[in-house]
Structures are given as structure tokens and as C-alpha cells.
């Protein structure tokens, strides 16, 4: 296997294409497709080696099928919007091509993270003899693999996991989102949720917060939100009693978000304007700066990782695995800021794992179900080095004190 098709030419898709082009020993043939051919052409011009570009509407299964038959890839890396996961999965199933994405499917009219639409493809993919690898970005993705690695090599039992995500960067805009505005705002405005004692507990959006000490950044206010990797990790990390996801938002971001919500601009249902149906969230997306435009003047770093509490050799243990990524360094290499970079590098490494035979199977898999060690050995070489260290209770005292 050495032929890859990337669908989606946004900021993260650009990183995927460029990083594949830097690894021609693995990716002999690289295709990039998007609804806008000119977006693919701009990315191709940045690549260090030639790639082929194509136009496709990923909402239309027949168009994707025709593209697959033309390009004959071994793997499709889906870097399009989560709305398009199912059409692309259907096309891969019809043609018999391996599939990978970085975010689970969402219907346009329901802002909710769940794998209930994709997991049922398992038997169909298994019968076809192909593999679907779900959630191979950073979170979900690298965060899941950190958990699998910790379970395999660092702990005998993992009781609690806190996934912590900090963007301590500044793009100089009054208000902007670091990835697709529509998806980002749907994520933040939905109800929060976490797993504890065998059940899901829901909370109102952004109602639980605390200070978390992020490596190489320091203490930052973080909010408990729901994220899709929690759903699969609950199934695949043995004996897990609690899992929570935390993300930083600046006071400025929260201020703008509250105003936008109050005036109805985050609604995902259509409203009539001059006789035409308009979805406010989709209109707002057109007004905000595209994430691909933020990289040039972005300063600061992301600091993302997983904090584990459990036991090793009968003794209590606390540990953390994390990555710190610099916005300016990412821009220098790929023209993208760190949020796009940390999303785009893991699927490239995941594709390597598949092509090199480290990851194999038939059916639908979340990444923590696959061998973590070869991924962890490669990801640092591709630009996302990781650190594992033990912690004490006092290192994250406020986080551990939050009673949820």
C-alpha cells in the first residue's frame, strides 16, 4: 500500500498533504481532492514533492465513488467536515478502500458528538475486508493513543483520566476560531458531559471550570466540555471510573460567544430572512476569519495531554503524557498554526501505521484499539514529540479538587 487520497483542503488538510509529500518513501502517490479545486492547487504549490489534485463534492456518494475508481487509493484520509463522514464511508465501502477520519459524524441539524452512526458500519466493513480508523486527529486521536499507551506500559489500572487542551496562542483578531468556525461553535455550545461511576452526567455548557497547570504554559482557566473520544475510551480503557475533557477559552472568547448566543447567531435551525431560509451559524461562519488565515501572525503554544490516576504494582500513581507545539514553528514549516498542525500530523502517522502493517484489521476501529507503541515511536519524528512524567497530587491540586 502506498497510494493515499486526502479529501478536504482546509487548514488541517493542507498539513496532511504537505506532511505526506515529505514522506515519499511511504506515500508513493498522493491525491488531494476538495469541492474547490483552487484550494487543492494552492496546497499542491506548497508541497515539497508533486501531488495530484481533483475536484469532488464529498456530500455526493456517487462523485466520491467515481473519484475512488479513478485514483485507486489504498486509503482515504477524510479531512472534510464531520457532516461528510458517512457519504465518504459509504463510498469507501462500495469500492473497497480503507477509510480514516479525525472527527466523528455529525448531522447538520443536531450538534452532538456520538459514534452511534459510524460504529454500526463495523460488520459491513468487516465483510468487505477493509478497515475504518475513526478519530485519528489529536483530540480525538493522539489523546486516545496516549491513553492506550498508558494502559499498556505505565499502569496496571487506570481509574481516572482528564484530557486537557490548552491553546495559549494569540492570532491578533478580535474573535476567530482555530478550526472550522461552525464545528467549533457547535462543539462549545452543546451541553457538557462526563463519565463517572458507570453513567454519563450532563451539565449546562461551560458551567464547571478550574485552573489547570499546563506544561510549558502554566496555570490557565479551563472549562469542562464533552468531547467524542470520551465515548470510545469508556469502552476501551479497562476499569475506567471517570473521564473528563477540559479546554481553555479566553475571557474575550467567552464574551463574544455569550453575545453571539444571546442574539441567536449560534442557532443551527433555519430562520427566514427576506423570504429565504438562513441558518445563523452558517452565515456567521462566512463572517469570521478562516482558520487557514490565522497562521502568519500567530504566537504562543498549544499544550495538550492526558492526566492519569491509577495503580502500578499495587501503589497509587499519577502521570501525564503531553505535547507542546509552537504556532510560529508550525507556520514556518507548513503555513499553518498549531491547532491545524496538531490535527493534521496524526492522520499522516496513522496512515503510515496502516501502510507499514503496524495497524491492521477488518471493520471499524477507534485508534486506542490499535497498537500504540509504533505510533508513539513515529509521531515525534513527524513533528509532535511527547513527554511522559509522573505527577503528585499537588501538581494539579485544583483539577483534582473539582468534585464532579
pLDDT for the residue 51: 98
The residue from 52, 80, 101 where one domain ends is: 101
- pLDDT greater at residue 357 or residue 269: 357
Task: Please tell me whether residues 176 and 65 are part of one structural domain.
Answer: no
In a domain, 77, yes or no: yes
When mean pLDDT is compared across 38-47, 243-252, 358-367, the lowest value belongs to 243-252
Render 169-230 in DSSP notation, one character per residue. Answer: EE---SS--SS-HHHHHHHHHSPEEEEETTEEEEE-TT--EEEEEETTTEEEEEEEE--THH
Task: Please tell me whether residues 291 and 148 are part of one structural domain.
Answer: yes
In a domain, 69, yes or no: yes
Q: Kindly state the cell numbers that stand for 72.
A: 485507486
Q: How confident is the model at residue 111 (pLDDT cuts 50, 70, 90)?
A: low
Task: Please tell me whether residues 305 and 183 are part of one structural domain.
Answer: yes
In a domain, 113, yes or no: no
The residue from 83, 101, 119 where one domain ends is: 101
When mean pLDDT is compared across 52-56, 236-240, 253-257, the lowest value belongs to 253-257
pLDDT for the residue 242: 98
Instruction: Give backbone dihedrals phi and psi of 139, rounded to 5 degrees, phi first.
Output: -135, 100
pLDDT for the residue 259: 84
Please give the helix or strand (H or E) that residue 40 lies within, else none: helix 37-46
Quote the percentage of the chain above a pLDDT of 90.
80
Task: Please tell me whether residues 199 and 290 are part of one structural domain.
Answer: yes
**Segments forming the whole domain that contains residue 50:** 3-101
In a domain, 37, yes or no: yes
- Determine contact, residues 229/139, Cβ cutoff 8 Å: yes
When mean pLDDT is compared across 75-79, 133-137, 273-277, 397-401, the lowest value belongs to 273-277
Q: Is the pLDDT of residue 172 over 80?
A: no
Nearest partner of 162 among 210, 105, 102, judged by Cα: 210
Q: Is the pLDDT of residue 191 over 90?
A: no
In a domain, 115, yes or no: no
Q: How confident is the model at residue 254 (pLDDT cuts 50, 70, 90)?
A: confident
- pLDDT greater at residue 206 or residue 46: 46
- Total-model pTM: 0.93
Q: How many CB atoms lie within 10 A of CB 274?
A: 5
Report the C-alpha gap between 228 and 292 in whole angstroms: 24
Q: Based on the structure, what is the number of domains in the chain?
A: 2
Q: Kindly state the cell numbers that stand for 206.
A: 461551560
Task: Please tell me whether residues 389 and 278 are part of one structural domain.
Answer: yes
- pLDDT greater at residue 170 or residue 222: 222
pLDDT for the residue 178: 66
CATH number at residue 212: 3.30.360.10
* For residues 135-143, average pLDDT: 97
Mean per-residue pLDDT over the chain, rounded: 94
Q: How confident is the model at residue 179 (pLDDT cuts 50, 70, 90)?
A: low
What is the CB-side half-sphere exposure of residue 170 using CA atoms within 13 A?
4
Q: Is the pLDDT of residue 89 over 80?
A: yes
Q: Which of 188-197, 292-301, 359-368 has the highest mean pLDDT?
A: 359-368
pLDDT tens track for 271-321 = 998 999 999 888 988 888 887 777 778 899 999 999 999 999 999 999 999
Q: Who's near 128: CB < 8 A, 6+ residues apart? A: 93, 96, 362
* For residues 369-384, average pLDDT: 98
The C-alpha angle 9, 47, 342, rounded to 5 degrees, equals: 60
Quote the percentage of the chain above a pLDDT of 70.
99
CATH number at residue 82: 3.40.50.720
Q: Is the pLDDT of residue 177 over 90?
A: no
* For residues 66-74, average pLDDT: 98
Task: Please tell me whether residues 164 and 66 are part of one structural domain.
Answer: no
pLDDT tens track for 318-346 = 999 999 999 999 999 999 999 999 999 99
pLDDT for the residue 286: 87
Amino acid at each position: 500500500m502506498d497510494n493515499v487520497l486526502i479529501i478536504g483542503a482546509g487548514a488541517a488538510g493542507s498539513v496532511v498533504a504537505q506532511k505526506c509529500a515529505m514522506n515519499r518513501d511511504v506515500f508513493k502517490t498522493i491525491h488531494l481532492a476538495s469541492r474547490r479545486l483552487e484550494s487543492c492547487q494552492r496546497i499542491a504549490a506548497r508541497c515539497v514533492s508533486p501531488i495530484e489534485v481533483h475536484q469532488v463534492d464529498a456530500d455526493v456518494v456517487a462523485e466520491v465513488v467515481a473519484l475512488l475508481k479513478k485514483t485507486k487509493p489504498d486509503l482515504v484520509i477524510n479531512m472534510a467536515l464531520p457532516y461528510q463522514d458517512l457519504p465518504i464511508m459509504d463510498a469507501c465501502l462500495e469500492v473497497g478502500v480503507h477509510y480514516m477520519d479525525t472527527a466523528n459524524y455529525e448531522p447538520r441539524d443536531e450538534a452532538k458528538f456520538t459514534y452511534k452512526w459510524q460504529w454500526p458500519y463495523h460488520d459491513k466493513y468487516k465483510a468487505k475486508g477493509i478497515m475504518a480508523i475513526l478519530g485519528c486527529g489529536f483530540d480525538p486521536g493522539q489523546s486516545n493513543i496516549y491513553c492506550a499507551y498508558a494502559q499498556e506500559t505505565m499502569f496496571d489500572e487506570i481509574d481516572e483520566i482528564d484530557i486537557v487542551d490548552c491553546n495559549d496562542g494569540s492570532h491578533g483578531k478580535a474573535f476567530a476560531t482555530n478550526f472550522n468556525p461552525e464545528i467549533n461553535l457547535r462543539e462549545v455550545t452543546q451541553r457538557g458531559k462526563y463519565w463517572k461511576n458507570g453513567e454519563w452526567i450532563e451539565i449546562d455548557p461551560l458551567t464547571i471550570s478550574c485552573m489547570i497547570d499546563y506544561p510549558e504554559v502554566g496555570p490557565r482557566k479551563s472549562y469542562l466540555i464533552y468531547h467524542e473520544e470520551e465515548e470510545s475510551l469508556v469502552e476501551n480503557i479497562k476499569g475506567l471510573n471517570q473521564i473528563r475533557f477540559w479546554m481553555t477559552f479566553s475571557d474575550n472568547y467567552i464574551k463574544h460567544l455569550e453575545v453571539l448566543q444571546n442574539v441567536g447567531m449560534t442557532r443551527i435551525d433555519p430562520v427566514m430572512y427576506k423570504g429565504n431560509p438562513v441558518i445563523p451559524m452558517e452565515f456567521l461562519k462566512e463572517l469570521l476569519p478562516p482558520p487557514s488565515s490565522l497562521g502568519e501572525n500567530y504566537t504562543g503554544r498549544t499544550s495538550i495531554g492526558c492526566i492519569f490516576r491509577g495503580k502500578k504494582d499495587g501503589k497509587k500513581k499519577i502521570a501525564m503524557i503531553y505535547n507542546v507545539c509552537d504556532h510560529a514553528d508550525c507556520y514556518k514549516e507548513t503555513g499553518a498554526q498549531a491547532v491545524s498542525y496538531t490535527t493534521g500530523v496524526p492522520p499522516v502517522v496513522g496512515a503510515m501505521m496502516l501502510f507499514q502493517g503496524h495497524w491492521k484489521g477488518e471493520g471499524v476501529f477507534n485508534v486506542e484499539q490499535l497498537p500504540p507503541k509504533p505510533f508513539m515511536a513515529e509521531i515525534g519524528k513527524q513533528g509532535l514529540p511527547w513527554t511522559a512524567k509522573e505527577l503528585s497530587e499537588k501538581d494539579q491540586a485544583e483539577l483534582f479538587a473539582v468534585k464532579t
